[in-house]
Amino acid sequence: MSNTGFKAYTDLEQYYLDNGVATGVTKPNTIGDPDYIAPVLDLVFCPLPSASPSMTPSISVTPSISVTPSITPTVTPSVTPSITVSLSVTPSISVTPSVPSSISVTPSISITPSTTVSVSVTPSITPSSTPGFAPNVIAAQGYTDPCGGGCNEYLGWYITLDQPVVNNTYYTLNIELYFFGTYQYTYTAYGMIPAGSNNDNVNPCTGGTYIGCGYNVNNTCVATIDAPVDRSAYAC
């Protein structure tokens, strides 16, 4: 076959961009492949048999036209295919259809049903406002015990409800401590009433807190307790 002046590639080889070393991976240079390299006019590497000056302006971009050196004038129309390359910009307009797809965000407003779920909170609130349902605190008291150690007081406490709780119920008590009849400080006690029970009792000698000698409890109140328990008259 006569030389057309175009340099084409049959295979592609992969290289590292940072050092230019080949990775050893190769593949055919196939039309349609994202890495496809089209033939290029290279009269230096592929000189035409006829070095006629009229051959210089010929830009036969289309490799599909097998141009023989004797048909030099017909090479000029082959410039037209290069214009069609600019028309490849037109497919980028296909991005426009993706705009309607963004309208599909509208279904994401299906978040609204999740608002309906929050309505289910209402029934859980109802029992706490229903007379006779919520347990009531009927006793809460802090007390001291030397625990057999003379004048070495340990602090314990208890809390009692008028009915068992359904879930583990956490509470805090404020216990006022006096030293020989004079207020000293308020101790905050933490505890939990187990589910199915109506009381919690912290024994001073087994789980209480050491407070020293000469202290006594003057007043105890319920600072916090989980709903739906009603602190009523024992609230701080």
Pick the range with the lowest mean pLDDT from 36-40, 92-96, 180-184.
Answer: 92-96
Task: Look over the chain and give the mean of its residue pLDDT values, rounded to a whole number.
Answer: 73
Distances (CA, A) of 174 to 157, 187, 199: 10, 6, 17
Looking at residue 223, what is its pLDDT?
96
In this predicted model, what pLDDT tens digit does every residue of 65-76 receive, in sequence order? 454 544 344 434
Tell whether the model's pLDDT for residue 155 goes beyond 90: yes
Distances (CA, A) of 225 to 202, 209, 220: 16, 21, 14
Residue 170 pairs in a beta bridge with 192
Q: Report, as an integer, the average pLDDT of 177-200.
A: 94
Choice between 152 and 158, residue whose per-residue pLDDT is larger: 158
Q: Would you say 191 and 207 are in contact if contact means Cβ atoms under 8 Å apart?
A: no
Looking at residue 141, what is its pLDDT?
96
Looking at residue 2, what is its pLDDT?
66
Q: Report, as an integer, the average pLDDT of 109-129.
A: 37
Tell whether the model's pLDDT for residue 123 goes beyond 50: no
Over its C-alpha atoms, the chain yields an Rg (Å, rounded) of 46
Looking at residue 195, what is its pLDDT?
96
Tell whether the model's pLDDT for residue 126 goes beyond 60: no
Q: Would you say 137 and 229 are in contact if contact means Cβ atoms under 8 Å apart?
A: yes
Place of tokens 């187990």: 194
Tell whether the model's pLDDT for residue 228 goes beyond 90: yes
